[in-house]
Structure formats: structure tokens, C-alpha cells
């Protein structure tokens, strides 16, 4: 197996370190920016299908939890 030159190893290590925090939830600036641009989605039960209403309500629940810190007990923010 061929060894990588030291600069390539360092670049690989730095890239892995920089991306290791991805997917840990909305925290800090990312959460703040998301909550500035995202809004709950509106729907009309007379027009929208039951499946659409269910998906919109799931989205809106996540938004309320993340942006208004109103999460059900046992749900991580």
C-alpha cells in the first residue's frame, strides 16, 4: 500500500475534522440562520390531501421545536 505524502495526509485530516460536525442538528449560527428564513407551511384541509396535511404538520412541528424551543418532552432540540 502506497503512503500518502504528508501534505495530502494533513489535508485529508483537516477535511475530516471540518466535516465531522455535520448532521449533529441545528445549533448555533446554522439554527439562527435557518429560523430567520424558514417559516411554518400553511395548508387548507378542504383542498389539500390528508397525506399533504400530515407532511406539512410534521414539518411545522419540527420548525416549532427548532425555532421556538417548544419541543415535546424527550425530543432533543
Q: d(Cα 14, Cα 63) in Å, to the nearest integer?
A: 32
- Is the whole-model pTM more than 0.75? no
Query: Among the residues of 1-77, which ranges form H helices?
Result: 6-19, 28-37, 50-68
- Residue 77 banded pLDDT, cuts 50, 70, 90: low
Could you read off the pLDDT of 14-70 as tens digits, one per residue?
665 555 444 445 555 666 788 889 899 999 999 999 999 999 999 999 999 988 888
Domain presence at residue 21: no
- Angle among Cα 12, 33, 44 to the nearest 5 degrees reads 125
pLDDT of residue 60: 94
Domain presence at residue 13: no
Domain presence at residue 3: no
pLDDT of residue 6: 66
Q: d(Cα 77, Cα 56) in Å, to the nearest integer?
A: 19
Segments forming the whole domain that contains residue 64: 26-71
Domain presence at residue 33: yes
How many separate domains does the chain show? Answer: 1
pLDDT of residue 34: 84
Amino acid at each position: 500500500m502506497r503512503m500518502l505524502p504528508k501534505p495530502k495526509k494533513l489535508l485529508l485530516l483537516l477535511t475530516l475534522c471540518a466535516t465531522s460536525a455535520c448532521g449533529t442538528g441545528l445549533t448555533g449560527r446554522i439554527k439562527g440562520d435557518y429560523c430567520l428564513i424558514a417559516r411554518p407551511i400553511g395548508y387548507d384541509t378542504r383542498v389539500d390531501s390528508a397525506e399533504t396535511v400530515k407532511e406539512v404538520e410534521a414539518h411545522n412541528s419540527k420548525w416549532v421545536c427548532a425555532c421556538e424551543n417548544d419541543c415535546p418532552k424527550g425530543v432533543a432540540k
